Amino acid sequence: MKKFIIHIIIFATILMLINLILLILSKPIYYDKYEEHSLKFNKYLFADSHGEKLLNHTQKIDIYNFSMPSDSYLDMKRKLLFLIRNDVHIDTIFLTVGDHTLSSYREASSNADRSNYFLTSDDYYNTLTYLKDNLIPYYLPFFSPNLRTIIQHNFRNKIRDIFITTLSDSLQNKEWENLSQDKQSKLAKERANKQFGNSQNSKILTAHLLDIINISKNNGIDIIGLKFPLTAVYQEAFIGKGYKADSILINSGYPVLDFTDDLSDSQNFEDQDHLTYEGGKKFVGILKERLVRMDQFTNHKE
């Protein structure tokens, strides 16, 4: 019996050490960037990777970019509530209403495990739920398969960067603008099949979008919807398959600025639906011009 207990203690110690290592690795890789925020702005951009590509260029027009790849309306709602709880005087949020934002793909691939950071214990039904859904995933990364996969992927990339200093042209990813039309079309269709594979929109994300609208109305916050630029080949790949998040916003009395066809030159895109660094800068300039034309911001506060 004593020997068995010693083995249990050794096993538990090893497990705790492994978990500690994963915790140390996961924070800078997985959490730190996501948890960055500012409470000093009056205007915020909420979007997924399409908005994240604008980086901090939006600050030149006094908009804080609170976007992150894979953010869903659940994650955006949590961030909005976080700002309100911290007494940030928000006058306008810019909200992505892209054709894919109510997809089952976005529901399954979100940042629900990371946006927990913006919640408090009061947001959970009980203490047990708070422990299970917030504290345990954060402090016990050993039990998070998703987090382990990300750490492994990051580690492989580090090793590759160390041992492979130069890649031959055949191994490098060609720039989107230099791909053949057939290759662009193939990649666009693969992406569209992934994002628009289900004909039904997500009821869960629809509810979260409506929550964002209601929270904004109740707090005197204006909303301006955004549809980001997309390549023509990608638009063709999913034609007629959008989930109409823009219609929900419009029917709620808010404007939607549709930039889908802007920056159509392929050199502005790094793939079928994401802008390059320079493309992001250009887009912010176009956004600024549009906002000036609509007298800066349309007022919906009542």
Nearest to 137 by CA among 16, 15, 23: 23
Q: Is residue 109 part of a domain?
A: no
Sign, Cα dihedral of 7, 149, 55, 92: negative
**Same-domain check for residues 44 and 26:** no
The CATH code of the domain that includes 236 is 3.40.50.1110
**At 21, which amino acid appears?**
I
Confidence (pTM)? 0.85
Q: Same structural domain for residues 29 and 43? A: no
Of residues 83, 117, 97, 85, the one with CA closest to residue 47: 97
Work out how many domains the chain is built from and give that number.
2
- What type of residue is 279? G
One domain, residues 152 and 183: no
Residue by residue, pLDDT tens for the chain (302 residues) are 777 788 788 878 887 887 788 778 778 888 889 999 999 999 999 999 999 999 999 999 999 999 999 999 999 999 999 999 999 999 999 999 999 999 999 998 899 889 999 998 888 878 788 877 777 777 777 666 566 666 666 666 666 556 554 444 343 446 898 999 999 999 999 999 999 988 889 999 999 999 999 999 999 999 999 999 999 999 999 988 899 999 999 999 999 999 999 998 889 999 999 999 999 999 999 999 999 988 754 444 44
Same domain, residue pair 98 and 128: no
CA angle, 185 as apex, 150 and 69 as ends, to 5°? 30
Element (H, E) at 92: strand 92-96
Domain of 155? Answer: 1-36+124-164
Which residues 6+ apart lie within 8 Å of 84 measured at CB?
90, 215, 219
Locate all alpha helices (DSSP H) within 110-241, ordered by sequence: 127-130, 136-139, 145-163, 181-195, 203-218, 232-237
